[in-house]
Amino acid sequence: MESILLLILFPLFTGTILLFVKNDSLRKIIVRLAALILIAVSLLTTVRYFNDGLTLALHREWINYGMVVIESILAIVIIALSIKHKKHLPILLILIQTSLINWYEFTHSHEVEIKADIVIDRFTLIMVLITGVIGSLICVYALNYMKDYHHHHQEVKDRRPFFFFLLFAFLSAMFGIVLSNNLLWMYFFWEITTLCSFLLIGYTQEETAVKNAFKALIMNLLGGFGFAAGIIYLGYAVGTQELNQLPVLAQSGIDLLIPAVLLAIAGVSKSAQMPFSSWLLGAMVAPTPSSALLHSSTMVKAGVYLLIRIAPILGFNVAGILVMMVGGITFLLASLMAITQSDGKKVLAYSTISNLGLIVACAGIGSYESIWAGMLLIIFHAIAKSLMFLSVGTVEHNMGSRDIEDMHGLIIKLPEMALMMTIGIAGMFLAPFGMLVSKWAALKAFIDSDNILIVMILVFGSAATLFYWTKWLGKLVAVLNKIERIPSKLTFDEWIALGTHAVLTVVICFAFPLIGNQFIEPYLNAQFAVQMDAVISDGNIKIMSMMLGMILLIPLGLLGFVALKEDRIVTSYMGGVNQGDNRYFTDALGNRKKMYLSNWYMEKYFSETRLNTIGIITTSAVIVVIFFMALGGVL
């Protein structure tokens, strides 16, 4: 019990203290110490509840009423900010859903029997570790990043105390989401993440940041309305508001189609799936630590966490079709749009949306195999994507650009960062790293479920993924003559955060059979009340284990590139006289010309505007049609 309170309340307590700390040295001490405590408590919680888990009922009305008061305060804050910026839709949305959930709290929720407000199982522990370890490292990284950020952006008001308060409040809310079994409690923490993301995206208070922050707020309030409606329906029609009871009720034959559709809409909006995906792209205006937190360990992971939790009630019904189609379409189109981007953060944003789409599709299938693959994708994506965001932020501060084209020859300019980014990119798509293993399992699950359309989507989407990651990786390891090394400005905190991420990306590859056996399969066996064979056979695991040895060649190979001497680099033929540095040549008229090789971004074929329009129309149609199909079935 003490560790649970620590996980939820300690980050909030730390953030509140940081709200009043303006001294950099004191802030560093507090954040570092808090990060160590959170990581330690996350690990201890995992060890303590690994075997027996925990089911905890807290029958205290004052907790529920306290949440009602805080929800009302959050609504007032959103209304006040909306009035200040003359935004009317957020006011309407927050008034509707807050009124609905408060009305339910005071009229009916006390009549619903709650056997467990908090449940800890193996999936909970996975999410606790992701939030505690990855989230804490991002906070440590933010210490020097934000100092450097305000040094380069002096036009932005320095509000670092508020920024760090939001980071830790975000972690507190995420712990609350994954530990809550009472859906009203989960909704409470869900809304806190919505407000925190809104404030983080609008941190600079510039016009574009404010616009994108309100876009995120509106999209997530729409999902929050679906969440609130789903809870109310479950309370009145089914007589439950416990998350772990939904698979049990579905297996007993109780119709959960309407709440499944409503909760699915909440999940896909939070995980930035089409037609809600634009809010996550707009979040790129925020400083890099907040982007990393949103993409890896908090905001979007809350959405896929909910979908994986309810996945057993999605398979083989129209709610599952909704989730599967929205996820599949988003995965394919976001992968194609990522090809057209040269901004590193935008590539990462589309990559996040794409990979979340694959996890969402796995949840929509709702089978043992597909959920196994989805859970593994959550783990590997959280680590590798956080590493990539932090790396791009560091490169931008060292070079003044986050454009992939400007990273040409980074292995010579900033070899340490080239190594970090290479590990991160390899973790996203190369064998035998975890994302590829997860996609292998997902493909097998889709084939076994006879969903040929989703199989084709996965194949073509994965091909696009290979294309844009390979382009980026090629830029990093290009060896150029006469390129000078840039003095590294990495601080101790950045090294700790980046180095730990890189090590975890590699170590987790070796540990994936253990993760499958000890974390994922016990959870799924309990969910499906059946003992299943391993999703990946022992023979394939042995092959992957042998391939893991190849990982060691990555740092050794990169070190070899860095050690290359000038006389070992052969100059290129440029249709003229090479001036000896592979960058300039003299043409036939004696003019000095600069040679530059650029990636092919294929904007003509994969227009961002066109594909985004297609995705929004298609997924909106799927959601509307299936919602009315589900509603018609009940009426």
Which of 17-31, 139-153, 582-596 shows the lowest per-residue confidence on average (mean pLDDT)? 582-596
Whether 110 is covered by a domain: the verdict is: yes
606-615: long-range contacts (C-beta < 8 A, 24 or more apart)? 606/336, 606/337, 606/339, 606/340, 607/340, 608/337, 608/340, 608/341, 611/333, 611/336, 611/337, 612/274, 612/278, 612/333, 612/337, 614/333, 615/274, 615/275, 615/277, 615/329, 615/330, 615/333, 615/334
Is the pLDDT reported for residue 241 higher than 50?
A: yes
Q: What is the pLDDT of residues 152-210, one digit of tens each?
A: 888 889 999 999 999 999 999 999 999 999 999 999 999 999 999 999 999 999 999 99
Domain termination site, one of 280, 313, 346:
313
Q: Is 393:289 a contact under the CB 8 Å cutoff?
A: yes
Domain that holds residue 200: 1-313
| Same-domain check for residues 243 and 348 | no
Q: What is the pLDDT of residues 117-149, one digit of tens each?
A: 999 999 999 999 999 999 999 999 999 999 988
| Same-domain check for residues 502 and 555 | yes
Q: What is the mean pLDDT of residues 104-110?
A: 87
Whether 426 is covered by a domain: the verdict is: yes
| Same-domain check for residues 143 and 49 | yes
Whether 356 is covered by a domain: the verdict is: yes
User: Taking Cα atoms as reference points, which of 209, 171, 267 lies closest to residue 81?
Assistant: 209
Whether 584 is covered by a domain: the verdict is: no
| Same-domain check for residues 223 and 357 | no
| Same-domain check for residues 245 and 342 | no
Whether 528 is covered by a domain: the verdict is: yes
Is the pLDDT reported for residue 559 higher than 60?
A: no
Could you give the CA distance from residue 35 to residue 264 in angstroms, rounded to a whole number?
33
Q: What is the pLDDT of residues 273-285, one digit of tens each?
A: 999 998 988 888 8
What pLDDT, on a 0 to 100 scale, did the predictor assign at position 1?
Answer: 67
What pLDDT, on a 0 to 100 scale, did the predictor assign at position 475?
Answer: 86
Q: What is the mean pLDDT of residues 394-410?
A: 87
Is the pLDDT reported for residue 520 higher than 60?
A: yes
Whether 585 is covered by a domain: the verdict is: no
What pLDDT, on a 0 to 100 scale, did the predictor assign at position 432?
Answer: 67
Q: Is 620:345 a contact under the CB 8 Å cutoff?
A: no
560: confidence class by pLDDT, cuts 50, 70, 90: low
- Residue 573 dihedral angles phi and psi, to the nearest 5°: -85, 130
Q: What is the pLDDT of residues 314-363, one digit of tens each?
A: 877 899 999 999 999 999 999 999 999 989 999 999 999 999 999 999 99
| Same-domain check for residues 138 and 70 | yes
Q: What is the pLDDT of residues 201-235, one digit of tens each?
A: 999 999 999 999 999 999 999 999 999 999 999 99
pLDDT over 70 percentage in the chain: 88
| Same-domain check for residues 292 and 405 | no
8: confidence class by pLDDT, cuts 50, 70, 90: very high
- Residue 543 dihedral angles phi and psi, to the nearest 5°: -60, -45
What does the mean pLDDT of the chain come to? Answer: 87
| Same-domain check for residues 54 and 193 | yes
Total domain count for the chain? 2
567: confidence class by pLDDT, cuts 50, 70, 90: very low
Whether 575 is covered by a domain: the verdict is: no
